[in-house]
Amino acid sequence: MAALPPLATVADLAAVLGRAFTPAQEAQAERLLQLASAAVRAATGQDITRATTTDTFTLRRADPVLHRCAGAVTLPQRPVVDIASVSIDGTVTQDWWQDGNELLLRSYAWDLALAAHRPPQVTVTYTHGFDPVPDDIVAVVLQAANRAIVNPSQVRAETVGGESLTYLVPNGGEALGVLLSEVEKRALRRYKRASGTVRLRSR
């Protein structure tokens, strides 16, 4: 899988800081933006940038009366922009519809011999993510990267020779890479992946 691009650019960072970077500073800023973007993606479970993915999921049963479908799959990457193709156990089907990030199969014979041994496997090719990246996500990435630039040791306070310094580290761990603050994590909550998704593989 190709590496995902940073969620903010060096030009974005330079603009909010109101400064120009030297070539060495540009390289540092680019790397920190990559790390901050990785932290945001880890916190949300989302790629965020627009992309097309093929994933295989386990179909879950649905109440045909309540949900008016035979089975469903929750597509983990949001928002779902387009679904290009759907196949069940290798057989292409058009018997589906989309409701947000839910893929609903109109009908399925659960008593098939294959389904008796394991749940049906649904392969979906779909386009997802944002273009452009939302400003609040860009802001979190820029804040985290800038924090690492101005305070690379992530020091807040500790007592050394009468002077107090403290290190901004996660609970029970050491500061590695770029960290997100609790405020930033809260700002990202609405982008977090929905629970209950069962993904088998992607390509």
Residue 110's pLDDT is 76
> How many Cβ atoms sit within 10 Å of the Cβ of residue 94?
8
pTM: 0.80
Q: DSSP per residue over 98-113, as a string?
A: EETTEEEES---TTSH
Ranges of residues in the chain with a pLDDT under 50 are: 165, 169-175, 196-198, 200-201, 203
> 97 pairs with which residues across the strands?
104
Residue 170's pLDDT is 47
142-177 pLDDT per residue, tens: 999 998 887 655 555 555 556 554 555 444 444 456
> 91 pairs with which residues across the strands?
88
Run of H or E including 146: helix 135-150
Residue 66's pLDDT is 65
Give yes or no for a contact between 99 and 75, defined as CB atoms under 8 angstroms apart: no
Amino acid letter at 199?
A: R
32-50 pLDDT per residue, tens: 999 999 999 999 999 999 9
Residue 148's pLDDT is 87
Residue 193's pLDDT is 84
- Average pLDDT taken over every residue of the chain: 84
Q: Report DSSP state, residue 49.
A: B
Residue 151's pLDDT is 66
